[in-house]
Structure 1
Amino acid sequence: MCEEMTALRVKWRHIIFLVTWLAYASSYLLRKPLGVIKADLESELGLSKTQLGWLDTSLLLPYAAIQLFLGSFGDRFGARKVLSSCLIISSISMVTFGMWSSYPVFAFLLFCNGAAQSQIWPSCIKGLGEWFSGQQLNTILGTWGTCVFAGGVMGTSLAVYLQSMYGWRSTFLLPSFIVIFLGILVSLLLKKPNKSHIEVDTVNISESTSTQQQLTFWQIWKVPMLAEISITMFCVKIVRYCMYMWLPMYLHQFLGYGKSEAGMLSTTFEIGGVAGSIVLGYTVDRWFAGKTILGVMVAIILSAIGFILFLLTSDYGWMFQVTCLLLCGMCNCGPDAILSGTLPLEIAMGRNIQSSLSGFINGFGTIGTILQGPIIGVIVQYYNWMVVFYFMILTSLIGALSMFRASLVKKQSNLKIESRDDLLI
């Protein structure tokens, strides 16, 4: 009987892992086309680069704001209901995007899409946390976190294909139907262990939902290390979305690649992210046991070095560009699952606030993605692409510095706990 229960638990863990992986990966099918079609929107509709930057903001502002202030939806209503609803709503909002030529309509549809997608990440983390224990959590979430970057590759590749075959107006149509299907799949398969009569030994997740704590913005901000982790996430994501939303245009306009070539070459950054998420998760568990924050700090420093090398070798040919983009992707994207997955689960320490903490960190990071649109638009329009890379290098180093600060806070917290234990003795 025990062996049957173990086999059933393993089976459902695989199902939950796969369903949530697909769910979050699919969200990029409705985000990445915007970066691919920017050159078309500029040439056909006469939109300026500053206006294109504000379209990024239209998508990402509600995404960040709702995660910051309403990140507890997954804790309150359950991961299955919230995740499936958000997938379906986001796809409905984008299915007609290609039928319009109005800038305000584009902004409104992207706003609706961003608002719906805001709860997808914290709901996925909530759903995963109910099934997996704290042992090897960095490895598990690092592997699962490949959905972020694999989804980006799939989103860009599909958009490039649709753009080249049918024009830019088709780039959101097929992805919308795919995401609707996955929303239905989530509603059928994403279950809690107790609903399936399965016992799961979880270290970081409390099974009790009746004791959920409603935390305000400032209460979450004051949780030890949350501020530093959130600032690091801000720096990492502002750099990542600079690459997501502007790299195809940079490769096309500055390095002279064709539109399709530029779009596909830009996926190298996200392919590096897939490898980085797995490698960093395993590396942190294997060689940085108890020093997760240090591992993340080292990775972010290496990402800054990668951008410097990319800048220095941009005229050397595509092999150097691919190599540097892979390094940048590995080291910038790799920490994502740890920053907004593993660390908030650990900090929650059994309280039913995992979705709130994860949503807060990811939402605060998304403020960076909001700002990158107009910032990069202005830099490119009034300065040049070189300044964009200087900006990304500096921002990466600030993120690494914030991780160093988090390590000091953790050390001080551990000393306080040890001193209390001494007093009890």
Structure 2
Amino acid sequence: MNLKARQILIFILGWLAYASTYLLRKPLGVIKADLEVSLSISKTELGWLDTALLLPYALMQMCLGQVGDRIGARLTLGMSLILAGLSMISFGYWNTTPVLGLLLFINGSAQSQCWPNCSKILLSWFADRVRNSVFGMFGTCAFGGGIIGTFLAVILQTNYGWRAVYVPPSLIAIFLGILVLIFYRQSSEAGVDIPDREVSDRQAKIGKSSSSLYEIWKIPMVAEVAISVFCLKVVRYCMYMWLPLYLLRQLNYSKSLSGMFSTVFDIGGVAGSALIGVLIDRFYAGRSIFGNAVSVALSTIFLICFNLTCTWGMAINAVFMFLAGAFSSGPDTLLGGSIAAELGEKGNRNAAVATVGLINGFGSVGTFMEGPIIGFISTYYGWSGMFYFMIILSIIGTISCFKAAKIHKKESTNNVTV
């Protein structure tokens, strides 16, 4: 098998593997109204269920960032997918909130190791000059998985009831985990040398390792990029977890339509993730952080527009949901993927995986906080309060990303390209 064929295989299998994690995340947002009615769960408790999934996802990703380096990225990713699937297969057949929370906790812990190790294997197969383009296209797996996960959950909910929504996704994740264990290997495992890679496997071995969280945090631009990713992920997960309920209760969409229509944000994410990486490689070569900052600023503007025009009808809702999703999702993927990895490799450091884990883990801290916060805000300040909260965070993310771009500009004299 030639190099291009191997790259295609790795890309497709990695795409499917990470997309399957969203099949195990998105149903919770779709079935919130059912849980509220069937199990008498309050909005605040629904928020805590979000936390049960996303808290371990964030903390385990930061604290266990070196697991893939120690036991192998392929083994870590494959076993994580299998454990995530096993944890959720019986979710719909329990009636108590603590048990549901425990299953979500196991699911989140298992999923925490998927993105860093998936990224490590994917990066090993592609030249540095196409990182943003490859990662942008690869990042569509999160949004494509979100769309598929939502549609699948709605179909299962409509035809079989909410209790069945996790069974097929769990089986899919388990199956893909087995395929990963068999086929998803790093280029070094396959004995393939990738041309035009500045940081080779040999260099990584002899490079200095920054394994402590504090040392990684002190790498220039890591803190600013992490804060920006934090803000982007909070906004994105607010839309993931609460948009269906917002459309149902505030804009009077039907239950099935609110679930389906909420995927417009995800569809925008697919387009934005695929295109923005390519555009940044082409028009912002050597200034990719600045290009991401511009994109985050545009996403803030479109989120404001969506809030101002939410009562103007479905067509206008769709336009601004799509644009907000597109311009926020591209930076989320790149800042937490290719750019994070390059920051971890600066100065011949062997900290790419740990840096990806830290930046994504820090960003995911915001995702577990959003559950109880949004539950509280929507209860006491209404749905408009939720959007004001998201807009403020988006503005903070924009400022932080521009600050990182400014730091990078100062370092440009040292020929550091991020």
Q: TM-score normalised by the shorter chain: which range applies?
A: over 0.9
In structure 2, stretches of 5+ residues that fail to align are none
Give me the whole-angstrom Cα distance separating, in 2, the residues matched to 1:279 and 1:198.
29
Q: Which among 160, 166, 177 is matched to residue 160 of structure 2?
A: 166
2:210–2:216: 8 Å Cα contact kept in structure 1?
no
Q: 2:109 matched to 1:111?
A: no
Give me the whole-angstrom Cα distance separating, in 1, the residues matched to 2:196 and 2:124.
7
Aligned counterpart, 2:87: 93
Aligned counterpart, 1:194: 188
By how many angstroms is 1:394 displaced? 1.0
1:403 is matched by which residue type in structure 2? C
Aligned counterpart, 1:4: none
Give me the whole-angstrom Cα distance separating, in 2, the residues matched to 1:385 and 1:192.
46
By how many angstroms is 1:202 displaced? 4.8
Over the matched positions of the two proteins, sequence identity in percent amounts to: 48
Q: 2:348 matched to 1:354?
A: no
User: Could you say what secondary structure the match of 2:290 adopts?
Assistant: helix
Aligned counterpart, 1:423: none
User: Could you say what secondary structure the match of 2:84 adopts?
Assistant: helix
Give me the whole-angstrom Cα distance separating, in 2, the residues matched to 1:264 and 1:199.
44
By how many angstroms is 1:351 displaced? 3.5
Q: Structure 2 matches for 1:16-415, cutoff 5 A?
A: 16-208=10-202, 210-211=205-206, 213-347=209-343, 348-349=345-346, 350-415=348-413
User: Could you say what secondary structure the match of 2:262 adopts?
Assistant: helix
Aligned counterpart, 2:9: 15
By how many angstroms is 1:124 displaced? 0.7
2:210–2:349: 8 Å Cα contact kept in structure 1?
no
1:266 is matched by which residue type in structure 2? S
> 1:272-293, CA deviations, whole angstroms, 9 ceiling, x for partnerless residues?
0000001111110111111111
Give me the whole-angstrom Cα distance separating, in 2, the residues matched to 1:215 and 1:304.
34
By how many angstroms is 1:338 displaced? 1.0
1:63–1:116: 8 Å Cα contact kept in structure 2?
yes
> 1:89-118, CA deviations, whole angstroms, 9 ceiling, x for partnerless residues?
000010110110000001000000000000
User: Could you say what secondary structure the match of 2:323 adopts?
Assistant: helix
By how many angstroms is 1:214 displaced? 4.9
1:21–1:144: 8 Å Cα contact kept in structure 2?
yes
Give me the whole-angstrom Cα distance separating, in 1, the residues matched to 2:253 and 2:115.
34
1:270–1:329: 8 Å Cα contact kept in structure 2?
yes
By how many angstroms is 1:52 displaced? 0.3
1:204–1:345: 8 Å Cα contact kept in structure 2?
no
Give me the whole-angstrom Cα distance separating, in 2, the residues matched to 1:234 and 1:196.
35
2:210–2:350: 8 Å Cα contact kept in structure 1?
no
1:205 is matched by which residue type in structure 2? V
Give me the whole-angstrom Cα distance separating, in 2, the residues matched to 1:17 and 1:383.
44
2:11–2:138: 8 Å Cα contact kept in structure 1?
yes
1:64–1:366: 8 Å Cα contact kept in structure 2?
yes
1:259 is matched by which residue type in structure 2? K
By how many angstroms is 1:365 displaced? 0.3
1:56 is matched by which residue type in structure 2? D
By how many angstroms is 1:193 displaced? 2.1
1:288–1:295: 8 Å Cα contact kept in structure 2?
yes
By how many angstroms is 1:227 displaced? 0.3
Give me the whole-angstrom Cα distance separating, in 2, the residues matched to 1:118 and 1:317.
38
1:24–1:148: 8 Å Cα contact kept in structure 2?
yes
User: Could you say what secondary structure the match of 2:189 adopts?
Assistant: helix
Give me the whole-angstrom Cα distance separating, in 1, the residues matched to 2:27 and 2:251.
21
By how many angstroms is 1:204 displaced? 4.4
By how many angstroms is 1:405 displaced? 1.0
1:27–1:151: 8 Å Cα contact kept in structure 2?
yes
1:271–1:329: 8 Å Cα contact kept in structure 2?
yes
1:393 is matched by which residue type in structure 2? I
2:372 is matched by which residue type in structure 1? P
- Greater shift, 389-398 or 66-75, is seen at 66-75
Give the count of matched residue pairs.
411
Q: What CA RMSD, in Å, does the superposition of the two structures yield over aligned residues? A: 1.3
1:110 is matched by which residue type in structure 2? L
1:36–1:159: 8 Å Cα contact kept in structure 2?
yes
By how many angstroms is 1:74 displaced? 1.6
User: Normalization by structure 1: what TM-score?
Assistant: 0.94
1:25–1:152: 8 Å Cα contact kept in structure 2?
yes
Give me the whole-angstrom Cα distance separating, in 2, the residues matched to 1:338 and 1:329.
14
- Greater shift, 325-334 or 214-223, is seen at 214-223
User: Could you say what secondary structure the match of 2:129 adopts?
Assistant: coil
By how many angstroms is 1:307 displaced? 1.2
> 1:259-314, CA deviations, whole angstroms, 9 ceiling, x for partnerless residues?
11000000000000000001111110111111111111111111111111111211
- From the superposition, tell whether residues 204 and 397 of structure 1 become closer, same or farther in structure 2 (CA, over 3 Å): farther
By how many angstroms is 1:213 displaced? 2.0
By how many angstroms is 1:210 displaced? 4.3
